[in-house]
Amino acid sequence: MKLIPCPLNGLRPADEFIYAGEVRHMPDPAQSTDADWARYVFHRSGVPGVKQEWWCHTPSGYWFIAERDTTTDEILRSYPAAQRKVEAS
């Protein structure tokens, strides 16, 4: 059974989680063009490697960030979303 390290609940079975996509910088709604939004919504990098991803522990409703190597499907670390560093794209 695959276990996922939740920062709040510790190691838990994978079936207790939902994956919600890669963490990406959202365009500024007040200053973005339709093309900016189209890129944000439809264009994602499919390159394998280490990605920051949104995950939720569904029984507790706890959202966090996991760094996962998509090549090996190994979760390298996880941390509370509040500790996320905002990166400009």
User: What pTM, to 2 d.p., does this model score?
Assistant: 0.83
pLDDT recorded at residue 1: 87
Compute the distance between CA of residue 44 and CA of residue 70 in angstroms, rounded to an integer: 14
Task: Tell me if 76 is assigned to some domain.
Answer: yes
Task: Tell me if 42 is assigned to some domain.
Answer: no
The residue with tokens 């409703």 is 61
33-83 pLDDT per residue, tens = 999 999 998 988 789 999 999 999 999 999 999 999 999 999 999 999 998
Task: Tell me if 35 is assigned to some domain.
Answer: no
Task: Tell me if 39 is assigned to some domain.
Answer: no
pLDDT recorded at residue 86: 54
Q: How many other C-beta atoms can be found within 10 angstroms of the C-beta atom of residue 66?
A: 21
Compute the distance between CA of residue 59 and CA of residue 42 in angstroms, rounded to an integer: 30
With a CB cutoff of 8 Å and minimum separation 6, the contacts of 19 are 53, 54, 55
Task: Tell me if 29 is assigned to some domain.
Answer: no
SS3 state of residue 55: strand
Domain range spanning residue 65?
A: 1-6+16-24+49-89
Task: Tell me if 58 is assigned to some domain.
Answer: yes
Q: How many structural domains is the chain composed of?
A: 1
